[in-house]
Amino acid sequence: MKPALLEVMRMNRICRMVLATCLGSFILVIFYFQSMLHPVMRRNPFGVDICCRKGSRSPLQELYNPIQLELSNTAILHQMRRDQVTDTCRANSAMSRKRRVLTPNDLKHLVVDEDHELIYCYVPKVACTNWKRLMMVLSGRGKYSDPMEIPANEAHVSANLKTLNQYSIPEINHRLKSYMKFLFVREPFERLVSAYRNKFTQKYNTSFHKRYGTKIIRRQRKNATQEALRKGDDVKFEEFVAYLIDPHTQREEPFNEHWQTVYSLCHPCHIHYDLVGKYETLEEDSNYVLRLAGVSGYLKFPTYAKSTRTTDEMTTEFFQNISAEHQTQLYEVYKLDFLMFNYSVPNYLKLD
Amino acid sequence: MGRRSCCRRPLPVVASLGAALLFLCAAPRALRPAFENKVLGSGWFGGERKSPLQLLRELDQGPRSAMAEVHQQRRELLRRACSRHTRRQRLLQPEDLRHVLVDDKHRLLYCYVPKVACTNWKRVLLALRGRGDPGAIPAHEAHEPGLLPSLADFAPAEVNRRLRDYLTFLFVREPFERLASAYRNKLARPHSAAFQRRYGTRIVRRLRPHAQPDALARGHDVRFAEFLAYLLDPRTRRYEPFNEHWERAHALCHPCLVRYDVVGKFETLADDAAFVLHLVGEPGLRFPAPPLRPEKDLTRVQARRLFQDISPFYQRRLFDLYKMDFLLFNYSAPSYLRLQ
């Protein structure tokens, strides 16, 4: 009996020691986590360069209530751009016959970054390849670090980014309300010339030649050669413009995204974009977005060669050969984009 | 013996389930052709007559009649108020359009708001479907579910097609008069026993200490102050959305997301109803005459009397709850309120 009791007492002591050790460890863990949390809570609000976003303010808060004074002038500039969109939408809605409600399918161009609470509406020919690269870095959770490491074709693979139409309606509504929404725009005719040069004059874009070039030639060119009808690789800018203003074109199918209006791609009258970036101030506006997202310490908008960019002068040259009538009709097609984003009527136009 | 009897029993159940499933599969198909046939059989085929929306646009462009001017101003006021007071950018779910009734033949969309002549408007819509005189249609029949198709029943593309081509209208009422009317009609009158059992008992149970068993069982004697406290209690909307009789008009019809061509007002019901029917182009159709009592003054007096006994604190909170309806539809704060 006594040996048994001794064993029990020993076991009890062992249990007590284990219990005491566990309690001690538990307490240590508690203190450790408290000390971990403390610096985060007391972090310097001016420490823009701190990479960790948890506990910091959301991009929306940063945008509408900037802490740093140097951001305030930029905030005012962007407020003016937002007001311009709002005013144009209001004026347009008085005349407009379009009265549709948004459906998830309308949100295919809105790329979502869950980690930083960002929504970016991509507009082809407005630096969207580089912005898609940035969104892949931002939402990639460490998979990528340098946006320029990402090949251009990979940035355009739809599986690599999440778009807003992939969510349920309540999820969409929550994100539209809580995330910072931004887009980048470009002078509409410069964008058009850029799309034309890239899609119809580059030899490697054979799929565009076959799909759109052949159609344009078949419809717009009298006495087209068999080779032209087969390859569609020598569309002239005048033919492209005639195709765009032909009412049959949009009745047949919506414009391709490369020459579709921003108004129809991003729905700025239904979705209130918090930030309207402009191609003409691309680097400043892009770095402002990154700063609001709290990542400007380690992520910058990539600078790249401007040698191939479509410029004002180039656009002017291309429009020399367009008749006054066609210029007027084309302006009507893109008029909302001019007004909404405050681009004046180009001076090379012969509008009567 | 036991096994045989056991085997026999499940068979009817299985058969019933199978039948139910077959019915469920068949029912949607049966319903769909009816709507599609109406679309195909539209009287507007061949452009014989202008649709209500086309008529309205012509009125807006030509030298305007007084009525067209009034309605143009209301649309502008609503649009401006939406722009100023809302930042809404949400997608509508199908159920959000449940209150928008569809008349494909005449190309109409009507968003009904209870306590704003919606029984009579439903009668008119039924009459337009060939039911003869709207005045002859009983009220309970007008409210029968399923008689009038709702925009919620259509696919998004079909919704947008109708929004583009149809005349969209709604009728609104001063929010507190509407609330007083809902209270009197649903919670204070003997004939609404079912409604009182459902909502009155809940209000009594939650807001009346030491309630009598009779009150707890019937919910027939809810006081206006208790009703308001129930509306202001956050638990009420957490539990389920407001009943349509006291839900805000903007939450039923979404006027900042759906664009309404005509905003009718209860206070000018006869004129506004005549305007809509003029656009519809059915000269023989008359909006049912309201009961022969001074409706306007009476409801205002009733609302004033009911709100007299409410403390300023509750008046303020209640005004905040319905504020968007006041702002969007251009109603000023009632003079009997003591908002501090």
Give tens-digit pLDDT for A322-335. Answer: 999 999 999 999 99
Nearest CB to B87: which of A93, A99, A272? A272
Q: List Cβ neighbours of B52 (8 Å cut-off, separation of 6 or more).
A: B106, B107, B108, B166, B167, B276, B279, B280, B281
Mean pLDDT of A147-175: 93
One-letter amino acid identity for A215? Answer: K
Q: Which of A51-60, B60-69, B138-147 has the highest mean pLDDT?
A: B138-147
CB pairs under 8 A between A and B: 50
- A77 in reach of chain B (CB within 8 A): no
What value does the mean pLDDT of chain A take? 85
Q: With beta carbons under 8 A apart, name residues in chain A contacting B107.
A: none
Over the stretch A249-268, which tens digit does the pLDDT of each residue have? 988 899 999 999 999 999 99
Contact B257 A169 (CB under 8 A): no
Check A270 against B163: CB less than 8 A apart: no
From A269's Cα to the closest Cα of chain B, the distance in A is 9
Q: Edge-to-edge strands of the sheet including B100-103?
A: B100-103, B108-111, B167-172, B262-265
Of B76, B93, B160, the CB nearest to A100: B160
- Spans of all domains in chain B: 52-329
Going by the DSSP 8-state scheme, the letter that residue B150 receives in this structure is B
Q: Which of A65-69, B23-27, B189-193 has the lowest mean pLDDT?
A: B23-27
Both tokens assigned to B170: 């709604």
pLDDT of residue B60: 82
Give the separation between CA A82 and CA A277, rounded to whole angstroms. Answer: 10
> Which of B79, B91, B156 shows the shortest C-beta gap to A173?
B91
Sequence-separated (6 or more) residues with CB below 8 Å from residue A68: A46, A48
Instruction: Give how far B281 is from chain A: nearest CA, Å.
Output: 22
Instruction: Give pLDDT tens digits for A37-50.
Output: 433 333 333 333 33
Please identify which residue in the block is written with the tokens 């006994």: B309
Task: List, in sequence order, the alpha helices (H) in chain B.
Answer: 2-8, 10-40, 52-61, 66-85, 118-126, 139-142, 156-165, 175-186, 193-195, 201-207, 213-218, 224-232, 234-239, 249-253, 269-280, 295-308, 312-328
Which residue, among B326, B322, B320, B324, has the nearest Cα to B339 in the 3D structure? B320
Q: In chain A, what residues touch B91 (CB-CB under 8 Å)? A: 101-104, 169, 172-173, 176
DSSP A209: I
Q: Is A105 annotated as a binding residue?
A: no
The distance of A332 to chain B (nearest Cα, Å) reads 21
How far apart are alpha carbons A228 and A251 in whole angstroms? 25
SS3 A15: helix
Find tokens 């000018």 and name the residue: B268
Q: What are the DSSP calls for B58-107, one per residue?
A: HHHHSSPPHHHHHHHHHHHHHHHHHHHH----PPPPGGGGTTEEEETTTT
Q: Which residues of chain A neighbour B80 with C-beta distances below 8 Å?
A: 90
Q: Are A243 and A249 in contact (CB under 8 A)?
A: yes
End-to-end CA distance of chain A: 116
Would you tell me how many other CB atoms lie within 10 Å of the CB of residue B298? 12
In the prediction, which pLDDT does A5 show? 56
